[in-house]
Amino acid sequence: MSELHKFLFDGLPVRGVIVRLTDAWQEILARRASNTTTGAYPPPVAELLGEMTAAATLMQANIKFNGSLILQIFGDGPVKVAVAEAKPDLSLRATAKVIGELPADARLPDMVNENNKGRCAITLDPKDKLPGTTPYQGVVPLFDDDGEKLGKLSDVLQHYMLQSEQLDTTLVLAADDKVAAGLLIQRLPVKGEGNLEGASSGTSGKDHDQANEDQIGRNEDYNRISILASTLTRDELLTLDVETILRRLFWEEKLLRFEPQMGLLGPHFACTCGRDRVAQMIRGLGVQEAEEILAERGDIEVGCDFCGKQYRFDAVDTAQIFTPPGDQVPASPVVQ
């Protein structure tokens, strides 16, 4: 069962979240594998996407924000785009578009940053947004401050957190074909909530930023805990249960644990696609292009990249999409 645990280090300005996705992650992989057009992800892509899904879950759990957290990598190598989305109820979905072959031992730069054009974006999309408001988005290149290509997703995200939130963050991520897991350790902001949600709502004050910046790398408690967290190996993260990991890493620290989130309240797969959204997309194509597709193929078929569901619109359905609302005929006969 997939699970998420939050904790605080008693009396210290440090918090942590650990996530272990099993059934939720296996569901994402199984849906992809059963898609006859794409087939299963190559192992390095599955590993990247699993790490992204774990990271999106950790980041969503770590902020107070009523909306989707979407982690995207726009690649310039064989992986054109990879997306992981986590909602406040810990529903998750993820997908990646892969074109061409990639070596079995492909690393992050080989997949998404071959020509130095790859980038990573983190979007906070509010649930109840007013018309015209654009979601908050932060974009980072896949390089460190010295211009070196970052080799791991955790490095990219740590770099992002430091740049955008002025918060020291340690991330350990790992994924295989059964488990996607991650550990996040973060120094608490000096004052208020000067992190992602602050950036989205515009409440992040300059003074807080400055105070936080002064603290970067200087908090001894955080540094000690971060070093402990960094000793966690990929193998341990994938194979050990949460209790064992926390005990092994932090047996000398006093942890304040929150109620674990698992089962119905835990991380789970869910897709928000629907026929209405696909209809909207077809409307976006314009009537001419839609009719061309109809003439060529008989109907318009759109598959959801996240869950694999197929939506089919025949000529009548399509005509309906382009008919002004008042002139629509009912989709099914009305019983008198």
Residue 316 amino acid letter: V
Least distance CB 221 / Zn ion (angstroms) = 43
Q: Are β-strands 268-269 and 91-98 bridged in parallel, bridged antiparallel, or unpaired?
A: parallel
In contact, 168 and 159? CB cutoff 8 Å: no
Which lies closer to Zn ion via its Cβ, residue 107 or residue 309?
A: 309
Are 52 and 82 in contact by the 8 Å Cβ rule? The answer is yes
Give one DSSP letter per residue of 233-290, joined into a string.
Answer: -HHHHHHS-HHHHHHHHHTTS-EEEPPPEEGGGS-EE-----HHHHHHHHHHH-HHHH
Among residues 80 and 309, whose Cβ is nearest to Zn ion?
Answer: 309
Nearer to Zn ion, 10 or 301 (CB): 301
| Amino acid in position 105 | D
What are residue 301's DSSP bridge partners?
A: 312
Would you say 222 or 311 has its CB closer to Zn ion?
311
The residue among 161 and 304 lying less far from Zn ion, judged by its C-beta, is 304
Contact residues for Zn ion (CB under 5 A)? 271, 273, 304, 306-307, 309
The CB-of-304 to Zn ion minimum distance in angstroms stands at: 3
Q: Measured from the CB of residue 40, what is the shortest distance to Zn ion in angstroms? A: 18
Nearest-approach distance from CB 282 to Zn ion, in angstroms: 16
**Least distance in Å: CB of 169 to Zn ion?**
31
Q: Please, which residue, 157 or 278, has the CB nearer to Zn ion?
A: 278
- What's the min distance (Å) between Cβ of 93 and Zn ion? 7
Contact 20, 3 (CB under 8 A): yes
Task: Please enumerate in sequence order all residues whose Cβ is within 8 A of that of 224, keeping only pairs 6 or more positions apart, or say none.
Answer: none
Q: Contacts for 276-285 with beta carbons within 8 Å, 24 or more apart?
A: 278/302, 278/311, 278/313, 279/313, 279/317, 279/321, 282/313, 282/318, 282/321, 283/321, 283/322
